[in-house]
Structure 1
Amino acid sequence: MSDLLERLRRRGWRLTAQRRVVAEVLDGDHVHYTADEVHAKATERLPEISRATVYNTLGELVSLGEVLEVSTDGRAKRYDPNAHHDHQHLVCSRCGTIRDVHLDSDPLAALPVPERFGFQVSEVSVTYRGICPNCHSHG
């Protein structure tokens, strides 16, 4: 489970009703919603929340480094609250479902030193692609 709400409280981020609802929607395991999905889920809890407020709140959370923006294959950006735990992604090539995966080894170790071409590598992003069980069962 993501600890987004707790992290925001520790930072002293002012949790208005709207911000709290957006953070609650994002809080959880394997959460990778689009902004429109966040808005739809937020309006279930707080019907008067505007799309602009949701977009602005997501932008603030990304700027704070508390939420990651994830883009895959030109699809809509998705928002990942698992910003403080090293992980990679597993993506369904059909429906776009994303799951967090935690590797047993450092992905940077898989890049041989000669293949780094002198770069000082600061970040590694690995994306696994395939077909999720739901898409696979529906042929």
Structure 2
Amino acid sequence: MKQVERYFYPAVFSYAPDQEIAVTFPDLDVATSGTDDTDALLSARELLGCVLCGLEEDGEDIPAPTPLADVKLEDGERAVLVDVYMPSVRLARVNRSVNRTVTLPAWLNAAALERNVNFSQVLQDALRTQLHLG
């Protein structure tokens, strides 16, 4: 099945004095917020990408977005169409870091710390070499 490249979903931006802008996605039942319109939009886009990527990974149905004109609004709210470019979201998930615990002799750890060795980078380089990944 071909993956969708870009999704568009309506979000409701709610404005209240002296509060962050609340952002909800009625079709997905998720919410976030932002300190101003730009921050709220960026937070909304990030949340949208995470939620849709999770639904894709889990093989769940992705609900159809409500047309922007059909979104029900209250006073102090406005509907905003938020888009997310999924190839970059999917790639970021593939390249996300994970934590691993390693055990070293104390003397080797001390020597590496003394020389400001980046343990993560050394391990990544060693694994690439060991696995012939270039």
**Could you state the TM-score of these two structures normalised by the residue count of structure 2?**
0.26
Could you say which structure has the larger radius of gyration? 2
Quick one: higher RCO (CA 8 Å, sep 6+), 1 or 2? Answer: 2
**Could you state the TM-score of these two structures normalised by the residue count of structure 1?**
0.25
